[in-house]
Structure 1
Amino acid sequence: MSDRIGIVWNPSKVEEADLRRAVEGAIERVFPGTRERPECLWFETTEDDPGQGAAGDALARGCDVVVAAGGDGTVRAVAERLGGSGTPEAELGVVPLGTGNLLARNLGIPLGDPQAAFARVLERAGSRLDLGVVRVRSTPTHDDAGSVDPARVEAGRDDPARVEAGDDGFDRRYGFVVMTGFGIDAQMITETDDELKARSGWLAYVESLGRAASGAEVVEFALRLDAEKPRTETAHTMLVANCGSIQGGITLLPDAVPDDGRLDLLVLRAETAGAWLDTMKNMVWDNGVKRLISRGGEAESSGSTAHLRARAVRVDLPVPLAFEVDGDDVGEITAFEARILPGALRVR
């Protein structure tokens, strides 16, 4: 049993009284009639601190388990703080309260039931989980006309992801536990209406999918995997993933395993109707039904779809494109560099 559990919770996702009842109910369920119960310390996220600082406060208070109670952004922020050094500083627990809940979906954590999710934290031993780290070259200080925007400069000073830019221009760093990338996925997140998302949950993303697909820009970009020489790729979408499943039970990257020490890449190139049919066949048949029938095998690529694997990835884009990290829109970027930190986290 953990002696001290830190609960980093997002007040925009749940009422404190409701979450406390769920936590107390889970403790009573797991430790009925005993006085040997864990101490729970509470840390609230804010607009300025999505979770990194709160998780750091939990560590400073001696918590050996830190629970992220919120959406994907809260989970990502807490995971980034716990595993960013490459070695787990405490075990991670997850109580999913958002619309995407991507890590919870991939790990089988109960959705829509905070008490059951917290009970899992109490009952399970920690298991290994890799953490992805992505550095980006962003364009946060310019307006749409390309002029310097003082308001964005000032806002960027307090950005927890901001780092001192080196000669390569990379100026932000994010941890991720599920996936990151550009293209349809990032554009869909940008296009999604927040009010609709609050009412409809993850189904709100479906409403924006058509606009995202029609607006996806096919570009030529430089891609380098591990120590290989850079090569030219043409695509409208690229995902770099630690986990392979998204909302609706859809598996985009069937080879992705969250503790294998590798990143799985999905590159989509379809422009014509025929190419999109090829993409659907690749996802539904080649890497779906056929994979189930044959019980495994590596993910298959096609003319419109490429599946790749690496421990480190570098991409240089010809134009700024929208970029997402674990479902969060982080603005437009012109380059990114991602790598995997094997076993940087332990998750319950």
Structure 2
Amino acid sequence: MAAERIGIVWNPSKVAEREIRAAWDAAASSVSGPLPEDLWFESAPEDAGRKATAAAVGRGCDVVIAAGGDGTVRAVAEALGDSGSPLAELGVVPLGTGNLLARNLGIPLGNPRAAFARVLTQHASPLDLGRVTFTNAAGVEERHGFVVMVGFGIDAQMIVETDDELKAKAGWLAYVESLGRAASGAAVVEFSLTIDDAAPETVEAHTLLIANCGSIQGGITLLPDAQPDDGSLDLLVLRADGVAAWLETMHNLVWQNGLKRILTRAESAESTEAIEHLTAKSLSVELPAPLAFEVDGDDVGEVTAFTAEILPGALRLR
């Protein structure tokens, strides 16, 4: 049997080439059997990895590893699964600040050798890919894939507010510093929400998250029902406004959908007036004004409307 051909799409702004190649060599040398052929492709500031992934697939790679931050992982995943059928298997070596997909799937953080070894020794399993199409404040339409979550409100504003220098020094803890400003500035807005084939509804909330995975930085699980391979999107509608509503929200996250859920083995998340859990295969949203929007932890600017859908099993993840 011929050895695998593995493409590594790596972000040179996250790690030196000497270091990432040394981690790969150490992992590959510890695996029994034929050594895989490795091909290396750099991402670029103007392209986080789509072109590099296309080049890897064009060279016949069976597996494409995204070695970088959330932007690199998203770009590689988008390039591999945007057709709805995987072009090659996906591997992840997390090198960023958030590392959202890696945190949700238990991929080793801060240890490229261990992450490479996981790719080389694990069997592939299905992973859904989300797809979001939005209209930005300039009226231009954009489309992106996502593997973790997208949305507007506190999460998106927290990313906007985060200081880049502090993030470089403190890692994901920098998001905590900006969370207070994001929460205090959250304003409830009225927007139109259409889920699947249902009629449009008017919703009042300051935050809407659409997720394929449920956890964010710090191990906080916002959407406990979200599973990366269940063929559905999970929605979190947050409308807490005032001290009492925020206390109710914290009680819901920590107790009702946290410890109580574990003790009672509840099958679905509980909703309250301040926080609502929904599911969808597809949805569309129209906003009353441009709002900050995030895609897998990246600020993509302000949007006025968007649609999102799930592509079940569009990826195969090592």
Q: Which TM-score bucket, shorter chain as reference?
A: over 0.9
The Cα of 1:217 is off from its aligned counterpart by 2.0
CA contact (8 A) 1:222 1:315 kept: yes
CA distance in 2, matches of 1:9, 1:230: 42
The match for 2:171 is: 201
The equivalences for 1:17-28 within 5 A come to: 17-28=18-29
CA distance in 2, matches of 1:204, 1:309: 30
Residue 35 of structure 2 is aligned to residue 37 of structure 1: yes
Give secondary structure in 1 for the equivalent of 2:241.
coil
Consecutive unaligned residues of structure 2, counting only runs of 5 or more, are none
CA contact (8 A) 1:170 1:336 kept: no
Matching residue within 99, 102, 106 for 2:100 = 102
Residue 77 of structure 2 is aligned to residue 79 of structure 1: yes
Aligned amino acid, residue 57 of structure 2: L
* TM-score, structure 2 normalization: 0.98
Deviations 1:10-41 (A, max 9, x none): 0111011000000000001113xx6x210100
CA distance in 2, matches of 1:115, 1:317: 44
CA distance in 1, matches of 2:253, 2:47: 38
CA distance in 2, matches of 1:93, 1:130: 14
Deviations 1:193-236 (A, max 9, x none): 11110110000000000111111121000000000000010000
The match for 2:213 is: 243
CA contact (8 A) 1:135 1:170 kept: no
CA contact (8 A) 1:312 1:338 kept: yes
Q: Which segments of structure 1 move beyond 4 Å, counting only runs of 4 or more?
A: none
The Cα of 1:296 is off from its aligned counterpart by 2.9
The match for 1:311 is: 281
The match for 1:92 is: 90
* TM-score, structure 1 normalization: 0.90
Aligned amino acid, residue 103 of structure 2: R
The match for 2:196 is: 226
Aligned amino acid, residue 174 of structure 1: H
The match for 1:191 is: 161
The Cα of 1:6 is off from its aligned counterpart by 0.4
Give secondary structure in 2 for the equivalent of 1:116.
helix
Aligned amino acid, residue 26 of structure 1: A
CA contact (8 A) 1:2 1:65 kept: no
The equivalences for 1:49-60 within 5 A come to: 49-60=47-58
Tell me the number of residue pairs that the alignment of Structure 1 and Structure 2 aligns: 317
The match for 2:186 is: 216
Aligned amino acid, residue 75 of structure 2: A
The match for 1:5 is: 6
Residue 179 of structure 2 is aligned to residue 178 of structure 1: no
CA contact (8 A) 1:135 1:336 kept: yes
Aligned amino acid, residue 322 of structure 1: A
The Cα of 1:321 is off from its aligned counterpart by 0.2
CA distance in 1, matches of 2:296, 2:266: 26
Give secondary structure in 1 for the equivalent of 2:30.
helix
The match for 2:252 is: 282
RMSD between superposed Cα atoms in Å: 1.0
Aligned amino acid, residue 98 of structure 2: G
Aligned amino acid, residue 129 of structure 1: L
CA contact (8 A) 1:130 1:177 kept: yes
Aligned amino acid, residue 21 of structure 2: R
Consecutive unaligned residues of structure 1, counting only runs of 5 or more, are 142-168
The match for 1:113 is: 111
Give secondary structure in 2 for the equivalent of 1:57.
helix
The match for 1:254 is: 224
Matching residue within 241, 252, 267 for 2:237 = 267
